[in-house]
Chain A
Amino acid sequence: MRKFALAGNPNSGKTTLFNSLTGSTAHVGNWPGVTVDKRDGVYKKTPEPVAIVDLPGIYSLSPYTPEEVISRNYILDEKPNCVINIVDATNLERNLYLTTQLLEIDVPVVVALNMMDVVEKAGDKIDVKALEQKLGVPVVRISALKEIGLKELMERAYEVSEGERDGSSVLVDTPLAHLIGDVKIALKGQGVLNPLFHAVKLVENDSIEAEMHRELAPMVEEFKATFEDDLFGDDFEAIIADGRYKYISKNFAQTVTHKEKDRTKMTPSDRADKVLTHKVWGIPIFLAILFAIFHLTFSEDFLYLGAIFHLPTLEELGLDVENYGVRWLACLYDGAVFSPGVILNNIWNNMLVGELFGRLGGLVEESAMSPWAIGLINNGIFDGISSVLSFLPPILTLFLFFSILEDSGYMARIAFILDRMFRRFGLSGRAFMPMIMGFGCSVPAMINTRTLADEKEKTATIRVIPFFSCGAKLPILTAVAGAIVAYFGVGNADAITFGMYVLGIVVAIVSVLLMRNTSLKGETPPFIMELPAYHAPQFKNLMAHLWDKTKHFVKKAFTIILASTIVIWFLSHFSFSWDFLEDEAINDSILANLSKLVQPLFTPLGFGSQLGAYGWVFVVAVVAGLIAKENVIATFATLAACLMAVVGMDFGDLAIEAEDGIDAVQAMVMATGVSIPALISFIAFNMTTIPCFAAVGTAKAELDGKKRYTGTLLFWLASSYVVGAMVYTIGSWWWTLFLWLAAIALTVTGIVLWNRYGKNGRNAIWARGKSS
């Protein structure tokens, strides 16, 4: 099968084109650096099917970061039959820089002028025929987003892939042309593939090339000794880059005709940026947007209308809350108008999933099966699954808003506005992009750290990514926050959830500050990022994101989570002598006995020995969460029914009608007497501790060396323990705040003194001692 590679600058639309050609749903975002690895698909509308390979975005074939190495290696080593060079037509001159490099490789090339619809809308014109003549390869106008011109593009690519093409250089008019020609002949004589490309790179002082062709180094150096440029001296990389840009502006600038317009007039993107990236208001606006998202997702009092106007409940209005129609109304309003996320949640849980599992549970109860089998199905399977599925609506609502921010181009701005703040802590704004991806899933977020060239910055970023609460942790946050509000009648669920997200960000910042001043000290790399233009989020993209999330969430619920709840049910209903235990006797189960061994460790965090006989359920939840974080609530749901039997309560005793997960946490509160500070500490601990197995495996693959990996595991354990203990003690005894502040002050002083006078400090006492 023929292979076509998609190559181009970051954020030029390669993955959008890939999705359109192959029918894939690869993640697309409106910021540079979304794709960090190659991926394959098949295009079937050519005479014979063609393999399409989507490559990470690159500005040039001189790679600096790992994902750029992947693109270069693929084009040079895998010998695709054609390279489709995606060029952002709204930024032609800069994009053509890479094109001039691709042309030097002996491979058929087709240039796809993407975003032509945007160019035409702006009233600009590009003379495609003239461009094609100057480049010497086919040029096709396309819009990957609107799927315009794709058929022609693939036809032209298929056509050129049938032949071969010798590389050509735009550097023929430069003073270096002679040297490049000589090196090319020498390389060709040695049978090197793509000799022109390698010759240019060798002259450029490319480190990879110099290593590969050491024998040619004397010849190149001999020439270079006699050559000096007036402007760039002996910086040959700069001389060649200058040669390319000169050629581009001389030959290609005239193919573009810009509409007469007032250049001083700001574009809508500029106007939006003036406000959204303001140096003072940028961060408060970001926090306000984040809070608005949480309010729209979790608030049971939309715009606080209920609190402001003291709206009546349905019962106060004299409605029968058991009536089917009123139950639907109760999904939208009950003493307050619910936020869109809560409305979806109510419909899903009260009218659909709750109803379904309720009926299924009833059928099982009425069956002739033995009590243990009924317990396993209803408590072990149905309660575990339904408690996790109950969180699908808030997860999807939250991710819909995050996808809108990403697709609109605002996420890239957040990286920009946070760069100044991050820089003070030792990270560049670029590190923020993987962190924000961590709100979705830590695994792709950790893989995205490949865009960070500095190894220490990368390590620090990987370590704090789990603190950006992922979708799997959302059920913990929502259920525990909901239970606090429902059982204790304290606060708002949206404010608690938002607060926990902010706590995660604060812990991440403090951790980075600590690491970059101690074990991971180093220069903060410069942050250069192209800000994409704002555009309205694409419905298709948003739906693709949501579909992906739904698919994987449901798949996980019916595989790993279901398996975990079954194991937990068995372990909680059998003793070490393999006798079956009734619900009332679960305190003698294998699970209880094993958990009780570890339980004292969590005493400083509020959910340890002080909780008495049944406190071990929190330990089980924490351990099960290491497999998948959704397991925390699934574990609660599985054990809740048993505990209810133990303490002689049933769900009807609970104060409110709530989702399964919230009910389950309330059951835990009733059975164990856990306090509010301990519950918040439990959330904080789960948010900052060792993430799921998948994330741990990814961290191991991405980190440089075993030492860094072990350090990372210890860091996660230590940070979660300290954060949990801090939350619990301050929440329980306010005066301990001063003890913690004193401990922080001492730590900071110690670090400052060490950095100044320690072994490698600026005024190192030991070093001075040695020199004197």
Chain B
Amino acid sequence: MGAWEIILIVACALLVGGVIAARIVRRAKGKPTCDCGCDCAHCVGCAHASNEKTKR
């Protein structure tokens, strides 16, 4: 296996691991994981939707 192949495998592993880790971290922080990019007027709702529910 040449250097390019090793770099390719490491890059793929980092990308897949990074995407999964980012999702887990975002979820833990209570941020949304939709494709709205978290900067729309609705998205902030995901974060404390459950808190508001409890308050009500």
Contact = CB atoms under 8 A, between A and B. Distances in A.
Nearest to B33: A694
A566 B45 contact: no
A694 B32 contact: yes
A376 B39 CA distance: 34
Interface in A258-315: none
B41 A37 contact: yes
Interface string B4-43: 1100100010011001101100010000111111011111
B41 to A, nearest CB: 4
B19 A560 contact: yes
Contact of B16 (A369, A563, A693): A563
A442 B50 CA distance: 18
A448 interface: yes
B45 A373 contact: no
Taking residues whose C-beta sits less than 8 angstroms from the other chain, chain B's interface range is 20 to 34
A698 B35 contact: no
A447 B5 CA distance: 45
A120 interface: no
B55 A448 contact: no
Given A369-B2, A369-B4, A447-B42, A566 B15 contact: yes
A40 B44 CA distance: 9
B35 A66 contact: no
A330 B53 CA distance: 56
Given A69-B52, A563-B20, A39 B37 contact: no
A88 interface: no
A37 B43 CA distance: 8
A771 interface: no
Nearest to A69: B56
Given A36-B42, A370-B2, A555 B15 contact: no
B41 A377 contact: no
Interface in A697-734: 697-698, 701-702
Contact of B12 (A24, A27, A376, A694): A376
Contacts of B2: 368-370
Nearest to B5: A373
Contacts of A506: none
Given A448-B42, A562-B15, A563-B20, A472 B35 contact: yes
Given A370-B5, A373-B4, A443-B46, A695 B41 contact: no
Contacts of A369: 2, 4-5, 8
A630 B46 CA distance: 22
Given A36-B45, A370-B2, A373-B4, A566 B39 contact: no
Contact of B40 (A38, A377, A444, A472): A444
A73 interface: yes
A556 B49 CA distance: 24
A566 B9 CA distance: 10
A510 interface: no
Contacts of B35: 441, 443, 471-472, 552-553, 556, 628, 694
B54 to A, nearest CB: 12
Contacts of B19: 559-560, 562-563
B37 A447 contact: no
8 contacts: A369-B2, A370-B5, A376-B8, A441-B35, A441-B36, A548-B40, A552-B36, A694-B34
Q: 3 closest Cβ contacts across the A-B interface?
A: A443-B34, A37-B45, A444-B42
Given A369-B5, A697-B27, 20 more contacts: A26-B40, A35-B41, A37-B41, A66-B56, A69-B56, A73-B55, A373-B8, A441-B34, A443-B35, A443-B42, A444-B43, A552-B35, A562-B15, A566-B12, A567-B16, A570-B12, A694-B32, A694-B34, A697-B33, A698-B46
Interface of B: 1-2, 4-5, 8, 12, 15-16, 19-20, 22-23, 27, 32-37, 39-46, 48-50, 52-53, 55-56
